[in-house]
Amino acid sequence: MVDAPRFGTDGIRGSANAELTPEVALALGRATVDVLGGDLVVVGCDPRRSGPMLEGALTAGVCSAGADVEPLGVVPTPAVAWAAADRKAAAAMISASHNPFGDNGIKIFAPGGMKLGDDEQAALEARYLELLGAGSSGQAAGADVGTVRSSHGVAGWLDLVAGSVGPDALGGMRLVIDCANGAASELGPEPFRRLGADVVVIGDQPDGRNINAGFGSTDTAALQTAVVAEGAAAGLAFDGDADRLIAVDDAGLVVDGDRVLALLAADWARSGRLRGNTVVVTVMTNLGFHRAMAAKGIDVVATKVGDRYVLEAIESGGLSLGGEQSGHVICRDLATTGDGVLTGVQLLDAVARSGRPLAELAEASMDRVPQVLRNVRLPGPVDDPAAAIADRVTAVEGEFGDDGRVLVRPSGTEPLLRIMVEHLDPDIADRACAELVAAAEAAYPADRSP
């Protein structure tokens, strides 16, 4: 079925019950058991209205393939990954992360809570599409059919997050936490309270339709206002499934994933926690981050966009820290995937131990190079959309020298060509990006309507 959702950088995603249908979830449940094996799949979801519909279908698929399901309910993605490691089982998270409520998605974790490698993902996608196209009956029958087990919950995940720093590490720190009306609305603030923080929570009233709406890591205006109004030391914004974090400092300014990672890398290097004295990032990470790490003698490894590629580089290098500008941060000594709640605890612990305000630490962590990011809509699937403007990109990079860079890449989830330009002079960055966008639009004269 050519119109079925395909795997992107983080599972499959689409409009719920239009692209991502119960039939898709059923086939993916069966394929997960067929490809990854095992007798159990742990399943969690965020609070979107379509979550129970897709969870029911996914559960039916898993059980029809002969494995059991342990439903965790509404929990953050990192809690699902933790449960997969704890149960030594595969797992699925039903969430579209930072997307609007009408979308949904399914992320699959390998047994043990790790993101899928390229080969595993390709095999899973092929089997899922085969089952979806064939409409085959279930593989198990009678006593071989799987069932739904009682859940053991994720209390151990909360214990791990809170126990990752010293007791009362955040004692007396006033915080505002924005849960994006998402998966962390109930559990997300708990570790911070255990660690002694005075916590004000916003965006914690999910109704199935309001996830990410005016709250969360992609819309920090409410959090910025609340931090200043409350006189808080910091604010933390999770996305819909809480695997990423964007912070706000005591002055109400945004601290993005690059600065969070820069702060943690420097802190961990001083304490000897930064294995290999190396941090892993993606090609989207700001040029200023690279310069800041070089000044501190910290090596940087850059990967393709996607936290699973960051994790692969961490694993292959025996490293401990990596992440993305978007706020996915992987503390590998503590977790198998990005964890916004855990990252927030680690960040604020570093702030508390420094005795300095977050605004001061964030400002000193790196000098951000002006960055312009624009998207060009493609008319449909294109094998190598960046090739059409490759000569112009080369020319711009030659003009920039060491003062800037250009990155052109296709989106992993949408028919878009993403064009990013960085330069020490913001006007030059703007002009160069506009020129490249015009060239791309001339090469791909698609319908520009939203």
* Pairwise CA distance, residues 321 & 314, whole Å: 7
> What CATH number does residue 375 fall under?
3.30.310.50
Question: C-alpha distances in angstroms, 443 versus 276, 376, 384, 397, 405?
Answer: 44, 10, 12, 20, 22
131 and 206 part of one domain: no
Question: C-alpha distances in angstroms, 304 versus 9, 91, 113, 205, 413?
Answer: 10, 24, 21, 35, 14
* Pairwise CA distance, residues 372 & 308, whole Å: 25
Tell me which of 50, 64, 95, 97 is the catalytic residue.
97
291 and 342 part of one domain: yes
Can you give the residue range of the structural domain that contains 30?
Answer: 12-154
pLDDT for the residue numbered 136: 61
pLDDT tens-place string over residues 245-294: 999 999 999 999 999 999 999 999 999 999 999 999 999 899 999 999 99
pLDDT tens-place string over residues 371-413: 999 999 998 888 899 999 999 999 999 999 989 999 999 887 6
- Token pair of 441 as six digits: 């639009």
pLDDT for the residue numbered 326: 92
pLDDT tens-place string over residues 433-447: 999 999 999 999 865
27 and 126 part of one domain: yes
DSSP state of 149: P
Q: How many C-beta atoms surround the C-beta of residue 427 within 10 A? A: 9
Q: Is residue 401 part of a domain?
A: yes
Dihedral over Cα of 376, 377, 379, 381: its sign: positive
Whole-structure pTM value: 0.91
Residue 98 three-state SS: coil
Task: Quote the Cα angle for 111-114-117, to 5°.
Answer: 100
pLDDT for the residue numbered 9: 73
Q: How many CA atoms lie within 13 A of 389 on its CB side?
A: 27
pLDDT for the residue numbered 413: 67
Whether 164 sits among the annotated catalytic residues: the reply is no
Provide mean pLDDT across the span 134-161.
Answer: 90
Q: Is residue 450 part of a domain?
A: no
pLDDT tens-place string over residues 29-40: 999 999 999 999
- Which of 310, 336, 365 lies at the terminal end of a domain, its last residue? 365
Q: Is residue 146 part of a domain?
A: yes
201 and 177 part of one domain: yes
401 contacts: CB under 8 Å, gap ≥ 6: none
Residue 1 has pLDDT above 90, yes or no: no
Residue whose token pair is 């808080």? 232
Query: How many folded domains does the chain comprise?
Result: 3
225 and 329 part of one domain: yes
